[in-house]
Amino acid sequence: MATRKNFQGNIDARRIDATTRQEGRATVSDKEQLGVLDRRLGAGVGATKERARLQQRIFDALLEAAYRCRGSRGQGRQGAESREGER
């Protein structure tokens, strides 16, 4: 049975609101989202799971960038090993 909360018009409105919030949040970086939480709740206060998730995503991005940078330098070592086999 449809109640006011589950009325189809309300469901559609909530769905539209949710998609607009998701689109708006997707445009904000993880560091900016942490800043928003700090301004809203205070530095390091509340939303511990969300803060942990955002910090992990920031760390993973930094780690991935370091591996990409390191991978370009690793080519010289492979070349040296192949030259040793030719001798």
Q: Any residues with CB less than 8 A from the CB of 61 and at least 6 apart, and which?
A: 30
Segments forming the whole domain that contains residue 71:
8-86
The answer to whether residue 1 is domain-embedded is no
Mind listing the pLDDT tens digit for each residue in 18-55? Answer: 999 999 888 999 999 999 999 999 988 888 999 999 99
Tell me whether residue 59 is in a domain. yes
CA angle 85, 86, 87 (to 5 degrees): 95
Does 3 fall in a domain? no
Question: Which residue matches tokens 């589950």?
Answer: 6
Q: What is the DSSP string of 5-34?
A: TT-HHHHHHHHHHHHHHHHHHHTS-HHHHH
Q: Residue 73, Cα to own-chain centre: how many angstroms?
A: 27
Residue 78 in tokens? 């492979």
Total domain count for the chain? Answer: 1
51 occurs within a structural domain: yes
Q: Which pLDDT tens digit goes with each residue over 2-21?
A: 567 778 888 889 999 999 99
Kindly report whether the global pTM for this prediction surpasses the value 0.85: no
